[in-house]
Amino acid sequence: MKLIALENALVDYTAYVNDDFLANYRLLKGSFNPITAGMKEAMEKSLQAVKSSGGSAANVCHGFANLGLFASFIASAGNDENADFYEQELTQAGIVPYIERKSGDTGVCMALITPDKERTLAVNMGESSSLQPEDIMEERFAGSAIFHTSAYALDSMYPAVLRAMDFAKKHNVKVSFELASVKSIQMHRDTIKYLLENYVDIVFANEEEAEEFTGKAPLQAIKELDRKAIAVVKLGGKGAIIGQPTSQIHVYGGGAKTMEMLVPSYKASAVKNTNGAGDAFAAGFLYGIVKGYNIYKAGKIGAFYAAKVVEVESARLPYRISDIEKLI
């Protein structure tokens, strides 16, 4: 039983800087800033940064493998030290890397944190946006249980995503899709609608994304999203709403009968970092689905794993959890 995922392979650099640093590179504070290759190289040399492999779908792979199941990750990267580092981190986490090496530089995302705790992103996509349909090998999908990707991959790799989804359907692999961000929805609304209508079996969104996509609040949004797919609207510390097309009548909250259910959150011992919590929920949920549990139990596993991730500084849990279903 395994998960295969596809998305951009970005190496993350996290550094603490002052406002003068942002001004020097003409970066808009608190925003997403595309940077040139030259700026990337200059910043890499000048920053005292913590380096890690990043990406939403890669985080999901990490959580899935961390819970004891097989995961693999498809992406493109450059032919440089950052690509070596990215592959090594995947391998150390128990994830099989299917990284297509290109001639340029691997993409990087620099998270620059100023004294006021504001986070400014400086991104050079490099070769992480260069995955082509011919890079997608059909045999990698045979025997898989779930294929996972997100709307982030639609920015530059839609033909590769579509080929991967075609192979997934051919081999009876469930397709899992993350709406990713409000901006991604605004850029790719029609494409996302097409994918949900024709390919997606499991869809994830947070409150803002669900509202942006459907124009409705979470309880009403879930009724739109779960018409053809298992739908999960993540509510942060409030848990999640989960629905599925073939579900029987469930009890929501205090007793109102509906097709959807509320999965409560688990209390973290301390909240150190919420970055990666949504990816952790998805990893735990997909683990539960692959193990054959109902959507409520899968949701509880996702909520429990997310609570453990927010207890650490990283977006990924630095220790393994065995038999997580026994802890919920």
Interval 171-204: pLDDT, tens: 999 999 999 999 999 999 999 999 999 999 999 9
Angstrom distances, CA of residue 126 to CA of 45, 46, 136, 189: 17, 19, 19, 25
- CB count, 10 Å around CB of 31? 11
CA distance 189 to 151: 10
The Cα–Cα gap between 225 and 176 comes to: 13
Q: 24-33, 129-138, 148-157, 308-317: which range is least confident on average?
A: 308-317
Contact 117, 137 (CB under 8 A): no
Among 28-32, 61-65, 192-196, the least confident range:
28-32
Convert 216-239 to b/e letters by CB count within 10 Å (16 or more is b): eebbebbbebbeebbbbbbbebeb
- Residues 272-294: b if buried by 16+ CB within 10 A, e if exposed: eeebbbbbbbbbbbbbbbbbebe
Is the full-model pTM beyond 0.95? no
> ∠193-198-200 over CA atoms, to 5°?
80
Binning pLDDT at 50, 70 and 90, where does residue 75 land? very high
pLDDT tens-digit series, residues 195-217? 999 999 999 999 999 999 999 98
Distance (Å, whole) CA 284 – CA 306: 8
Domain topology for 2-8+54-106+125-326 = UDP-N-acetylmuramoyl-L-alanine:D-glutamate ligase (3.40.1190)
pLDDT score, position 294: 93
Q: Give the Cβ contact number of residue 164 at 10 Å.
A: 29
Percent of the chain topping pLDDT 70: 95
Short-list 236, 5, 273, 17, CA closest to 121: 17
